[in-house]
């Protein structure tokens, strides 16, 4: 992988590092639990895990402010947890239960939270990209200084609608950070087999959108790049592209046997580049935390995740009366509430 390691000594507090450790670990343990529940038949349909990519969303959330928006693809559980959505509600949605964010009717790919400004969860590859620009258009119109993080994959970056969106976002100077989560595969297709030029962060150049490549296994690099991108957008200069180079450890979805890559490739990445291990090492080497303190954080996170699984199992399935609800909006939202 060509992602660069940062050579700078990080200027970061123990508190901040501990926060990243906690947030990334929550995502990892939550996803592991979701994988187990899937194996037990408690989660049906598709389920795309985020394991390996945790530093991307945790780093970018560290660059976000209250009121900023986010929208992403179907690989979305990590994004929901990182923006503060309740693990109980996410797990219950995965298992199709009433206590879930979409009352058990949406599942893994269709969850939303108006409170946390999380706009999904989209199963159609690339479909969230124009939606992200639309959200940013609303903010530009209202001149409220908000920014929208629009996440999509390396595969999605080859979609036509992405370039229609780049054009409009640049034309109208929309405050949108396009985050390309380059995990190097689109289902079973390696980037080099599908993509004409490797440097997808340069794809905004014809539209005048600046872009940069970021080490997505290092949460501090992601945060720093995120802050730069957000400052650009908030100052009214229009969109920004971050190609965040990362890696997914698990298959594309739970049903992927992953025959298109070797076990050694995955193992090497886990051993040498793991985002959580990197922060763990920083905490220990900087004497910011002891092994015992980290163990107690691990225990705490496990308890939160186990409780979410219990909540999900105990929550009932939605009743048949829910079949005809939430199809059409009852009220048309006004500009002020949108």
Ligand X SMILES: Cc1ncc(C[n+]2csc(CCOP(=O)(O)OP(=O)(O)O)c2C)c(N)n1
Which residue stretch of 41-49, 94-102, 184-192, 199-207 sits at the interface with Mg ion (rule: CB under 5 A)?
Answer: 184-192
Q: Which pairs count as long-range contacts for 253-260, CB under 8 Å and 24+ apart, including other chains? A: 253/46, 253/47, 253/48, 253/49, 254/35, 254/38, 254/39, 254/43, 254/46, 254/47, 254/48, 254/49, 255/46, 256/187, 256/188, 258/188, 259/188, 260/185, 260/188, 260/189, 260/190
Residue 89 engages Mg ion in binding (rule: CB under 5 A)? no
Residue 252 binding result from Mg ion, ligand X, none, given CB thresholds of 5 to 8 Å by partner type: ligand X
- Provide the H-helix boundaries in the chain: 14-39, 54-61, 77-82, 87-94, 128-142, 160-171, 191-194, 219-234, 263-273, 275-285, 291-314
- Provide the H-helix boundaries in 238-317: 263-273, 275-285, 291-314
- φ, ψ for residue 80 (rounded to 5)? -70, -45
Return the residue nearest ligand X (CB atom). Answer: 153
Nearer to ligand X among residue 30 and residue 247 (C-beta): 247
Here's the x/- map for Mg ion, 133-162, by CB under 5 A: it reads as --------------------xx--------
The nearest distance, CB 262 to Mg ion, in angstroms, is 18
Nearer to ligand X among residue 98 and residue 256 (C-beta): 256
Q: Which spans of this chain sit near ligand X (rule: CB under 6 A)?
A: 73, 75, 123-125, 153-156, 183, 185-187, 252
Nearer to ligand X among residue 135 and residue 186 (C-beta): 186
Nearer to ligand X among residue 123 and residue 145 (C-beta): 123
Nearer to Mg ion among residue 21 and residue 247 (C-beta): 247
**Bridge partners for 179 per DSSP:** 151, 242
Place of tokens 């079973």: 188
Nearer to ligand X among residue 61 and residue 88 (C-beta): 61
Residue 204 engages Mg ion in binding (rule: CB under 5 A)? no
The nearest distance, CB 69 to ligand X, in angstroms, is 20
The nearest distance, CB 309 to ligand X, in angstroms, is 24
**Bridge partners for 240 per DSSP:** 177
Residue 52 engages Mg ion in binding (rule: CB under 5 A)? no
The nearest distance, CB 31 to ligand X, in angstroms, is 13
Q: Residue 122 class from Cβ within 10 Å (0-12 exposed, 13-18 middle, 19+ buried)? A: buried
Residue count at the site for Mg ion (CB under 5 A)?
A: 4
- Provide the H-helix boundaries in 204-251: 219-234
* Residue from the set 72, 108, 158, 183 that interacts with Mg ion by CB under 5 A: 183
Which residues bind to Mg ion, rule: CB under 5 A? Answer: 153-154, 183, 186
């Amino acid at each position: 992988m060509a992602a660069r390691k940062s050579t700078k000594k990080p200027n970061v507090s123990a508190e901040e590092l501990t926060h990243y450790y906690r947030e990334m670990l929550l995502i990892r343990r939550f996803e592991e639990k979701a994988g187990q529940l899937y194996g037990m038949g408690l989660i049906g349909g598709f389920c795309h895990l985020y394991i390996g990519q945790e530093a991307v969303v945790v780093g970018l959330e560290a660059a976000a402010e209250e009121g900023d928006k986010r929208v992403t693809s179907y690989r979305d559980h990590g994004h929901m947890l990182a923006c503060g959505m309740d693990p109980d509600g996410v797990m219950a949605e995965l298992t199709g239960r009433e206590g879930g964010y979409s009352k058990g009717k949406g599942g893994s790919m269709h969850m939303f939270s108006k409170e946390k400004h999380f706009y999904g969860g989209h199963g159609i590859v690339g479909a969230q990209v124009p939606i992200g620009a639309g959200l940013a258009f609303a903010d530009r119109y209202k001149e409220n200084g908000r920014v929208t993080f629009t996440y999509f994959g390396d595969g999605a970056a080859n979609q036509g609608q992405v370039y229609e969106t780049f054009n409009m976002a640049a034309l109208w100077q929309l405050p949108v950070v396009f985050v390309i989560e380059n995990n190097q595969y689109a289902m079973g297709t390696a980037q080099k087999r599908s993509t004409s030029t490797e440097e997808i962060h340069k794809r905004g150049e014809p539209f005048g959108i600046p872009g940069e490549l970021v080490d997505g296994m290092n949460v501090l690099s992601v945060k720093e790049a995120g802050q730069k991108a957000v400052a650009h957008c908030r100052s009214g200069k229009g969109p920004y592209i971050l190609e965040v180079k990362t890696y997914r450890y698990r298959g594309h979805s739970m049903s992927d046997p992953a025959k298109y890559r070797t076990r050694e490739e995955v193992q090497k990445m886990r051993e040498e580049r793991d985002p959580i291990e990197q922060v763990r090492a920083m905490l220990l080497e900087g004497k910011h935390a002891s092994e015992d303190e980290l163990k107690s954080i691990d225990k705490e996170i496990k308890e939160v995740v186990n409780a979410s699984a219990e909540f999900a199992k105990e929550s009932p399935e939605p009743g048949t009366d829910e079949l005809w609800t939430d199809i059409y909006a009852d009220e048309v939202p006004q500009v002020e509430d949108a």
